[in-house]
Amino acid sequence: MENGIKKTVKQIQSEINALESKKYAIEKVLKEENEIKLVEELLNFIDGIGIIEEDYYAPKRLYSSIEGVKNIRMGDNNRVIVKTLNLKGELLPDKIEIRGNEYDIAIRRSKNFSESLNY
Protein backbone atom coordinates (compact mmCIF):
# COMPACT_ATOMS: atom_id res chain seq x y z
CA MET A 1 0.00 0.00 0.00
CA GLU A 2 1.03 3.58 -0.57
CA ASN A 3 2.26 6.01 2.09
CA GLY A 4 2.92 3.26 4.63
CA ILE A 5 -0.79 2.47 5.15
CA LYS A 6 -0.91 -1.24 5.82
CA LYS A 7 -4.49 -1.78 7.02
CA THR A 8 -7.62 -1.89 4.97
CA VAL A 9 -10.71 0.12 5.82
CA LYS A 10 -12.38 -3.18 6.70
CA GLN A 11 -9.63 -4.00 9.23
CA ILE A 12 -9.82 -0.53 10.77
CA GLN A 13 -13.63 -0.77 11.00
CA SER A 14 -13.24 -4.12 12.76
CA GLU A 15 -10.95 -2.48 15.34
CA ILE A 16 -13.43 0.37 15.81
CA ASN A 17 -16.22 -2.16 16.35
CA ALA A 18 -14.13 -4.01 18.96
CA LEU A 19 -13.54 -0.74 20.84
CA GLU A 20 -17.22 0.21 20.67
CA SER A 21 -18.17 -3.17 22.13
CA LYS A 22 -15.71 -2.63 25.01
CA LYS A 23 -17.25 0.82 25.64
CA TYR A 24 -20.70 -0.78 25.63
CA ALA A 25 -19.57 -3.38 28.17
CA ILE A 26 -18.17 -0.72 30.52
CA GLU A 27 -21.32 1.38 30.26
CA LYS A 28 -23.52 -1.67 30.88
CA VAL A 29 -21.68 -2.51 34.12
CA LEU A 30 -21.87 1.11 35.31
CA LYS A 31 -25.57 1.29 34.42
CA GLU A 32 -26.29 -1.88 36.42
CA GLU A 33 -24.35 -0.53 39.43
CA ASN A 34 -26.20 2.78 39.22
CA GLU A 35 -29.56 1.01 38.94
CA ILE A 36 -28.95 -0.88 42.19
CA LYS A 37 -28.07 2.39 43.96
CA LEU A 38 -31.08 4.11 42.41
CA VAL A 39 -33.44 1.42 43.73
CA GLU A 40 -32.09 1.91 47.26
CA GLU A 41 -32.35 5.68 47.01
CA LEU A 42 -35.90 5.54 45.63
CA LEU A 43 -36.94 3.17 48.42
CA ASN A 44 -35.51 5.67 50.91
CA PHE A 45 -37.31 8.51 49.12
CA ILE A 46 -40.62 6.66 49.18
CA ASP A 47 -40.15 5.84 52.88
CA GLY A 48 -39.18 9.45 53.69
CA ILE A 49 -35.60 8.61 54.65
CA GLY A 50 -32.96 11.25 53.94
CA ILE A 51 -35.16 13.60 51.96
CA ILE A 52 -34.99 17.37 52.00
CA GLU A 53 -38.44 18.87 52.30
CA GLU A 54 -39.92 22.10 50.95
CA ASP A 55 -37.06 23.72 49.10
CA TYR A 56 -37.38 26.28 46.32
CA TYR A 57 -37.46 23.90 43.33
CA ALA A 58 -39.32 20.84 44.60
CA PRO A 59 -41.49 19.82 47.54
CA LYS A 60 -39.09 16.95 48.25
CA ARG A 61 -35.72 15.85 46.96
CA LEU A 62 -33.00 13.39 47.88
CA TYR A 63 -29.34 14.19 47.33
CA SER A 64 -27.88 11.18 45.59
CA SER A 65 -24.77 9.13 46.30
CA ILE A 66 -24.69 7.98 42.66
CA GLU A 67 -21.61 9.42 41.02
CA GLY A 68 -22.67 12.10 38.55
CA VAL A 69 -26.19 12.48 39.99
CA LYS A 70 -26.97 15.61 41.98
CA ASN A 71 -30.45 14.79 43.27
CA ILE A 72 -33.62 12.81 42.76
CA ARG A 73 -37.16 14.18 42.82
CA MET A 74 -40.57 12.67 42.20
CA GLY A 75 -42.58 14.07 39.32
CA ASP A 76 -46.15 13.46 38.25
CA ASN A 77 -47.48 10.14 36.96
CA ASN A 78 -44.84 7.84 38.49
CA ARG A 79 -41.97 9.81 37.01
CA VAL A 80 -38.62 10.11 38.76
CA ILE A 81 -36.61 13.22 37.87
CA VAL A 82 -32.86 12.68 38.13
CA LYS A 83 -30.68 15.78 37.95
CA THR A 84 -27.26 14.89 36.57
CA LEU A 85 -23.88 16.58 36.72
CA ASN A 86 -22.04 14.61 34.03
CA LEU A 87 -22.31 11.80 31.51
CA LYS A 88 -21.64 9.09 34.09
CA GLY A 89 -24.75 10.20 35.98
CA GLU A 90 -26.83 9.53 32.88
CA LEU A 91 -26.01 5.82 32.89
CA LEU A 92 -29.41 4.89 34.31
CA PRO A 93 -32.32 2.75 33.12
CA ASP A 94 -35.27 4.34 31.30
CA LYS A 95 -37.72 2.68 33.69
CA ILE A 96 -37.51 0.99 37.07
CA GLU A 97 -39.97 -1.13 39.06
CA ILE A 98 -40.23 -0.68 42.81
CA ARG A 99 -42.77 -2.38 45.04
CA GLY A 100 -44.99 -3.22 42.09
CA ASN A 101 -44.97 0.30 40.63
CA GLU A 102 -43.17 1.20 37.44
CA TYR A 103 -41.41 4.56 37.37
CA ASP A 104 -40.17 6.39 34.27
CA ILE A 105 -36.73 7.93 34.72
CA ALA A 106 -36.47 11.49 33.38
CA ILE A 107 -32.96 12.90 33.21
CA ARG A 108 -32.44 16.64 33.63
CA ARG A 109 -28.99 18.11 33.26
CA SER A 110 -27.72 20.51 35.89
CA LYS A 111 -26.76 24.00 34.74
CA ASN A 112 -23.21 22.96 35.72
CA PHE A 113 -23.35 19.80 33.59
CA SER A 114 -20.02 18.60 32.18
CA GLU A 115 -19.88 16.90 28.78
CA SER A 116 -16.39 15.49 29.40
CA LEU A 117 -16.07 11.73 29.61
CA ASN A 118 -15.38 10.84 33.20
CA TYR A 119 -15.66 7.07 33.18
Please state whether beta strands 69-74 and 79-86 pair in parallel, antiparallel, or not at all (unpaired): antiparallel
Return the domain boundaries, the chain.
Answer: 2-114
DSSP 87: G
CB 92 within 8 A of CB 38: yes
Task: Give which of 23, 42, 18, 15 is closest to 88, Cα–Cα.
Answer: 23
Count other C-beta atoms under 10 Å from residue 60's C-beta.
14
The 10 Å CB-count burial string (b at 16+, else e) for 41-55 is bbeebeeeeebeeee
Q: For the whole prediction, is pTM greater than 0.75? A: yes
* Residue 31: per-residue pLDDT: 97
Task: Give which of 49, 40, 48, 38 is closest to 94, Cα–Cα.
Answer: 38
pLDDT tens digits in sequence order for the chain, 119 residues long: 566 678 999 999 999 999 999 999 999 999 999 999 999 999 999 999 998 887 777 789 999 999 999 999 999 999 999 999 999 999 999 999 999 999 999 999 999 999 998 88
